[in-house]
Amino acid sequence: MAAWEKNVRKTIPYTPGEQPDRPNMIKLNTNENPYPPAPGVTKALQELDADRLRRYPDPAARVLVQALADYYGVTNQQVFVGVGSDDVLAMSFLTFFNSEKPILFPDITYSFYDVWAELFRIPYERPPLDSEFKIRTKDYLRECGGIVIPNPNAPTGIEKNLAELEEMIAGNPEVIVIIDEAYIDFGGTSALSLLPKYENLLVVQTFSKSRSLAGMRIGYAIGNERLIGYLNEAKYSFNSYTMNGAALAAGTEAIKDDAYFRETLQKIINTREWTKQELHRLGFSFLDSKSNFIFASHPKCPAEELFQALKQADIYVRFFNKPRINNYLRISIGTEQEMGALIRFLEHYLGENL
Amino acid sequence: MAAWEKNVRKTIPYTPGEQPDRPNMIKLNTNENPYPPAPGVTKALQELDADRLRRYPDPAARVLVQALADYYGVTNQQVFVGVGSDDVLAMSFLTFFNSEKPILFPDITYSFYDVWAELFRIPYERPPLDSEFKIRTKDYLRECGGIVIPNPNAPTGIEKNLAELEEMIAGNPEVIVIIDEAYIDFGGTSALSLLPKYENLLVVQTFSKSRSLAGMRIGYAIGNERLIGYLNEAKYSFNSYTMNGAALAAGTEAIKDDAYFRETLQKIINTREWTKQELHRLGFSFLDSKSNFIFASHPKCPAEELFQALKQADIYVRFFNKPRINNYLRISIGTEQEMGALIRFLEHYLGENL
């Protein structure tokens, strides 16, 4: 080890899903939307004035913040935007989790939470999900440094009902409770309605899934004005200009086209429910997903074997080689055609190999 | 103060320059490039496939990293990219400055350095520039937790010669020395040539100034592969996907068009030298800038008065109300026409008011 290495912050980074890019592959491994972004997004990008790019973008990202504020019926001062919800969550951890008490999040959940906690040296504990992979409310009614609950949870897809979430938020007035709603638009009930009652609540959402803009990196948080003020001050202490001109234009157009948004959501939800029926028919067991993925296990065929077999057929799903969940596959919901191909492959494979 | 506020990280954020957007204004306050980005950038953005944006971008930003590696004659593993050099510098502070000894940077310099140090609770000391606003090498030959030297320095514009920089880097093998070369392309000599000799050296540059892409938010660091490896691990512990599809496409095209790059640089340098002559004629004193701005003071008219008078005329320059530099204006180099208008205004104003 060189002398200079002793002061380096050593981290164990998050491992994103593979991003293969092969013609005709079926990519169901990173919960992307199978439909393109709203038509207005294409138009806005084509009309982007390259000359304008020599100037810094608006550091307050007002056009996008305003579109979000209008859409959700909150004030501009209640909205924070960042480079994907990962950026928003990372800044929130840095800003709000400075207690010496541990923050709490489930043992099985988005695997970035413990990475951020390690990066920022935030103590944390991970109350285990129950035997049905559900979050137990009582585990979160205790002294702590903060709480992060993904709702629906990933990779399980299970939604926690609003009354139980409210119990956690009301029970922890001294700390910030972050509800990470990356997948809420696919049929869940948002905690946004609780904002007027609880000033310790921060709701985080993203354009990456329901708005088909994973490639543009846009996430946001909504909370009370004081909370968002602190988050903005931390952002202005890290990077004043996070949202580039293209992201501002694309995000704003995506929010404005609500009809397109609802139409694609409904298609995905319909395909998800069809896929559930088919998986059931093939003998899979799975949890009741309210997200754009299904977390499924087959009683006779190990998940890792299926994962590899699917990959050979250029169908990519996600397999987590981790305790408790290493016999499950997380399957993103693609188009009807893609899910049809997946089901046909599984039917054939299970028929031949069982 | 609410109970939840006690664990909030309180910060004093960086204050970016104003971003007014008025027709016919002359904007010389944030060191933006007066010329549009390379023609290939416009084309790449127009051809951006909106459908592709539903997918996550390449987390390793390979297309852009490769273009930079080719341009600078280094390996892909020696290049780190981020959301502007602010993102790159912030991640570098977080990754490399974890000593209990103070990091060192000048008292008069880019005002984000102390903001990052405060945010990440890094101890720091600021050796004062000498009476001619020069960085004294000997102040940096001492035990410390790391060093950041902007070269040329901002807002002074003064370049430090490579031999003296090398003395600092060689004299501090136990810590990382960051040379922040945001303005190096405007006539300075880069420290990149020292990379093969010093593994504790990190060179940071940006697309915001010399490549006319402030609005796209692209910065980069070049260093040895181990150093860049640590930086990437920290990045993957914060936000896997920082560079969106538009930034990747625009940045790659900007790097590829070297002829356009050199042509716009030369125009800016020529205009800078012309502006120096004119400011001299009007009685201003200023430092020998090697950047795209001039830091100037008039013996008979206070900088703040001039700043306000210029603003009334829709000419924006930067005034820092800080000790030692509160009688200086930082004037970005615009087009010939813009600088002509500035000089005419100053000539008229000083003639009438002195």
User: Residue ranges per domain, chain A?
Assistant: 3-36+259-353, 39-257
Q: Does B1 touch chain A (CB under 8 A)?
A: no
Cβ pair B66, B256 in contact under 8 A = no
A96 CB neighbours in chain B (<8 A) are: 4, 7-9
Inter-chain residue contact B238 with A86, CB threshold 8 Å? yes
A59 CB neighbours in chain B (<8 A) are: 16, 19
Inter-chain residue contact B244 with A216, CB threshold 8 Å? yes
pLDDT digits (tens, 9 = 90+) for A67-125: 999 999 999 999 999 999 999 999 999 999 999 999 999 999 999 999 999 999 999 99
pLDDT score at A84: 98
d(CA A148, CA A88): 13
Nearest residue of A to residue B99 by CA position? A7
Confidence of residue A354 (pLDDT cuts 50, 70, 90): low
Portion of chain A with pLDDT greater than 90, in percent: 93
Nearest residue of B to residue A235 by CA position? B13
The shortest CB-CB distance from A7 to any of B99, B173, B237 is to B99
Which top CATH class is A39-257? alpha beta
Q: Does A115 touch chain B (CB under 8 A)?
A: yes
pLDDT digits (tens, 9 = 90+) for A124-160: 999 999 999 999 999 999 999 999 999 999 999 999 9
CA distance B26 to chain A (A): 12
Which of residues B14 and A331 earns the better pLDDT score? A331
pLDDT digits (tens, 9 = 90+) for A186-206: 999 999 999 999 999 999 999
Alpha helix ranges (H) inside chain B: 39-46, 62-72, 84-96, 113-119, 162-170, 225-236, 245-256, 258-281, 303-312, 336-353
pLDDT digits (tens, 9 = 90+) for A295-316: 999 999 999 999 999 999 999 9
The shortest CB-CB distance from B7 to any of A14, A98, A234 is to A98
Inter-chain residue contact B200 with A4, CB threshold 8 Å? yes
CA distance B22 to chain A (A): 13
B241 CB neighbours in chain A (<8 A) are: 16, 83-84, 86, 214, 217
d(CA B119, CA B99): 15
CA distance B322 to chain A (A): 19
pLDDT score at B156: 96
Pull the structure tokens for residue A72. 């959700």
Which residues does B273 contact at the CB level (< 8 Å), separation at least 6?
none
Q: In this structure, which topology does domain B39-256 adopt according to CATH?
A: Aspartate Aminotransferase; domain 2 (3.40.640)
Inter-chain residue contact A119 with B52, CB threshold 8 Å? no
Inter-chain residue contact B27 with A99, CB threshold 8 Å? no
CA distance A64 to chain B (A): 15
pLDDT score at A24: 87
Which residues does A48 contact at the CB level (< 8 Å), separation at least 6?
A245, A246, A249, B45, B246
Structure letter (DSSP) for residue B134: P
Q: Does A37 touch chain B (CB under 8 A)?
A: yes
Testing the interface with B: which of A8, A94, A122 to mutate, by most B Cβ within 10 A?
A8
Nearest residue of A to residue B15 by CA position? A236
Average pLDDT, chain A: 96
Inter-chain residue contact A83 with B84, CB threshold 8 Å? no
CATH (one of 3.10.25.10, 3.40.1410.10, 3.90.1150.10, 3.30.70.270) for A3-36+259-353: 3.90.1150.10
A46 CB neighbours in chain B (<8 A) are: 46
d(CA A54, CA B211): 8
Inter-chain residue contact B50 with A52, CB threshold 8 Å? no
Architecture of domain B20-35+259-353: Alpha-Beta Complex (3.90)
Phi/psi of residue B59, nearest 5 degrees: -65, -25
pLDDT score at A19: 79
Q: Is the previous residue joined to A152 through a cis bond, with omega within 30 degrees of 0? A: yes
A95 CB neighbours in chain B (<8 A) are: 8-9
Q: Does A14 touch chain B (CB under 8 A)?
A: yes
Inter-chain residue contact A213 with B53, CB threshold 8 Å? yes
d(CA A328, CA A321): 9
Q: Does B209 touch chain A (CB under 8 A)?
A: no
Query: Going residue by residue through chain B (354 aa), what tens digit of pLDDT does each one get?
Result: 888 899 999 888 887 777 788 888 999 999 999 999 999 999 999 999 999 999 999 999 999 999 999 999 999 999 999 999 999 999 999 999 999 999 999 999 999 999 999 999 999 999 999 999 999 999 999 999 999 999 999 999 999 999 999 999 999 999 999 999 999 999 999 999 999 999 999 999 999 999 999 999 999 999 999 999 999 999 999 999 999 999 999 999 999 999 999 999 999 999 999 999 999 999 999 989 999 999 999 999 999 999 999 999 999 999 999 999 999 999 999 999 999 999 999 999 999 876
Q: Is the previous residue joined to B152 through a cis bond, with omega within 30 degrees of 0? A: yes
Average pLDDT over residues A348-354: 86
A236 CB neighbours in chain B (<8 A) are: 11, 13-16
Q: Does B99 touch chain A (CB under 8 A)?
A: yes
**pLDDT value at A33 more than 70:** yes
pLDDT score at A2: 86
Pull the structure tokens for residue B95. 């990754």
pLDDT score at A136: 98
Phi/psi of residue A207, nearest 5 degrees: -90, 0
pLDDT score at B354: 67
Predicted complex: ipTM over 0.90: yes
**Would B20-35+259-353 and B39-256 be classified into the same CATH topology?**
no
Q: How far is CA A120 from CA A112, A114, A131, A347, B22, in A?
A: 12, 10, 31, 46, 41
d(CA B70, CA B78): 11
